[in-house]
Amino acid sequence: MSSAEEKIVICIEDEPEMIELVRLILGRRNYKVIGANGGRAGLDLIDEHKPDLVLLDLMMPDIDGWEVYNQLKSKEETQDIPVIIVTAKTQSIDKVLGLHIAKVDDYVTKPFGPQDLLSSVEKILQAKDNS
C-alpha cells in the first residue's frame, strides 16, 4: 500500500483561490495537489499525471465538470480514477445526479470545512487502496 506522500490529487477548478485552499488543506497531509484552471487543462493534467484522485468543480467556463467526468470515465486508462465533485451547486437533485446516476465517488459542497474535504478524500483513497 502506498503512503500519502505519493498520492497525487488534481484539483480542476476555475477559481485559483479555491485551488490554493485545497492545496493548503491537503498539503498538511502530504498530498501533492496539482491545480488545473478549467476543464481542458484538467483533462491534459490527468493524462499526464494519472492522479490517485480528481477533485472536480462542475461550473467552469470552458467545459463543465460533467463533460470532464464523462471524458475521464470513457477512457480505459483513466476510468478507474476516483472523482469527488466539489461544487457550489447545493441542490439535492445535483447530488442525486452525481452520486447515483453518474456514480461519482463523493460530492462536497462549497463552502466546505477543511475536515469535510479531508474526510472525503481520505475515505475515497482508503477505499481505492483496499479494492
Q: What is the pLDDT of residues 34-46, one digit of tens each?
A: 999 999 999 999 9
CA gap 24, 69 in Å, rounded = 24
Average pLDDT, rounded, for the chain:
89
Please state, for a pLDDT cut of 90, what percent of the chain lies above it. 69
Query: Could you list the residue range(s) of the whole structural domain that residue 22 is in?
Result: 4-130
The total number of structural domains in the chain stands at 1
Kindly report the CATH number assigned to the domain that includes residue 28: 3.40.50.2300
CA gap 77, 60 in Å, rounded = 24
